[in-house]
Amino acid sequence: MSYNLLKGKRGIIFGALDENSIAWKTAERVHEEGGTFVLTNAPIAMRMGQIDVLAKKTGSEIVPADATSEEDLANLVAKATEILGGKLDFVLHSIGMSVNVRKGRKYTDEKYDFTAKGWDVSALSFHKVMQTLYKADAMNEWGSIVALTYMAAQRTFPDYNDMADNKAYLESVARSFGYFYGKEKKVRVNTISQSPTPTTAGQGVKGFDGFISYAEKMSPLGNATAQDCADYTITLFSDLTKKVTMQNLFHDGGFSNTGVSQEVIEYFSK
């Protein structure tokens, strides 16, 4: 169902890899709601994924960019505003990667150059994206910037590894940059803390299936899917949430406020 919530709005969507990714589903929803956008991903991710299919489906252009490169980001923002014919109204940052996780290194045995790389890609890139937009004055007033995060920023999930630290940093950047962006340009900045979701990035985490079924049993409404997250993101891009900024918004079926559920009690009382 479409409500035309984003009619005439323009933006950039980072991180669409394949049809399981939240960025992919968000792009489809933005398209349905009348928004136009440029798709972007790192060249290596583009080779792995099917971003061309999405571009064709939504009538979008692709501008490759490494989100850790200031030069790439400046080029992306300049091209996007040129392609779309004006300043931007929304940006989705849907990027995360831990080299330590990929290489099977435990949290107590990090290789710090791996840590630095993961932090740059997953967290500092959000600051770089916003600083680039800010310096280029590329966002319209009342524009909306959203990044995806996970509750491991607040609570410990042993196998989430150094991504937990990256997410904590990401959420802090949203608050800090959100203050200046709101004050000076009326742009809002928020993070969505999503349920564990079976995306390519999510499934890289050890014990992921157990994780998902536990969260499902703990959440009164069940886990939020990637599609649900796309719908929620649309509301944050729309004019209906103009005064929501600097928030970390839990989108997790109630998991974050549940101490224990009946199902979990029953499972452990067997």
Task: Catalytic residue, from 3, 107, 150, 267: name it.
Answer: 150
Concerning whether 150 is annotated as a catalytic residue, the answer is yes
Concerning whether 3 is annotated as a catalytic residue, the answer is no
CA dihedral 229→148→131→101, nearest 10 degrees, is: -150
Annotated ligand binding at 21? The verdict is yes
Annotated ligand binding at 22? The verdict is yes
Query: Closest by alpha carbon to 165, among 104, 115, 108?
Result: 115
The per-residue b/e assignment along 165-197, b for 16 or more CB within 10 angstroms, e otherwise, is: bbbebbbbbbeebbeebeeebebbbbbbbbbbb
Coil, strand, or helix at residue 258?
coil
Task: Catalytic residue, from 3, 107, 160, 181: name it.
Answer: 160
Annotated ligand binding at 167? The verdict is yes
What order of strands is seen across the sheet that includes strand 36-40? 61-62, 36-40, 10-14, 88-93, 139-149, 188-194, 248-251
Annotated ligand binding at 217? The verdict is no
Coil, strand, or helix at residue 72?
helix
Binding residue ranges for NAD(+): 15, 21-22, 95, 167
Where is the binding site, in residues?
Answer: 15, 21-22, 95, 167
Active-site positions read 150, 160
